Amino acid sequence: MSQQFGEIRQIAFVVPNIDSAMQYWATTLGIGPFFIKRKIQLDNFEYRGKASASPVISIALANSGALQIELIEQHDMQPSIFLEFLQRQPTGGLQHIAAWLSRTEFEQRKTALITQGYQVAQAGKISSSGVELLYFATEQDQTGVIFEIANLAEPEHSPRLEKIAQAAQQWDQATIAIEVQQ
């Protein structure tokens, strides 16, 4: 558990090709199935403190036990923390870790972290689910990672998160990816 941000519930990898990454995670590491949303944009997007157009990204989610694995591919050159990462590490890799909080905890933690001097690297909202994402600039150098907080610890998100976790427990390795509609 991070004393500053909360319990780590997810690790996220930015990748140059999400289909290849899902294939690797499923066949080599035995983790799947991945639930994938393709070519989405975030609402209320901010990058490094300024309102900006959202990048077009695809995200894939699978569980390994209680830990969720997220894969992210950016499809354009819109400035974002994902593009920054791939420019430094073209083959991709671990880019951020995340804590899931209630809306109240999210707002309290956001205020506390900003008061403590943490800078927001990126922010946005997934319109289809209402999930707010806030990424703090904790990467400091190439060995560090960004820390995300998300308001996923709300009852309306539980069925979707449980579905992903249960699918991993029952996975027969036949299906690598399950397409999720917007």
Tens-digit pLDDT profile for residues 34-67: 999 999 999 999 999 999 999 999 999 999 999 9
On whether residue 44 sits in a domain, the answer given is yes
On whether residue 176 sits in a domain, the answer given is no
Q: pTM of the prediction?
A: 0.95
Q: Domain containing 44 — which CATH number?
A: 3.10.180.10
Mean pLDDT along residues 153-177: 95
Environment class of residue 109 by beta-carbon count within 10 Å: exposed (0-12), middle (13-18) or buried (19+)? buried
Domain extent at residue 34: 8-170
- Identify any residues that bridge with 115 across adjacent strands, giving them in sequence order: none
Mean pLDDT along residues 121-130: 94
| Count: domains in the chain | 1
Whether cis (ω within 30° of 0) applies to the bond prior to 33 is yes
For the stretch 91-120, pLDDT in tens is: 999 999 999 999 999 999 999 999 999 999
* Confidence (pLDDT) at 182: 64
| Residue among 67, 37, 93, 90 nearest 161 (CA) | 67
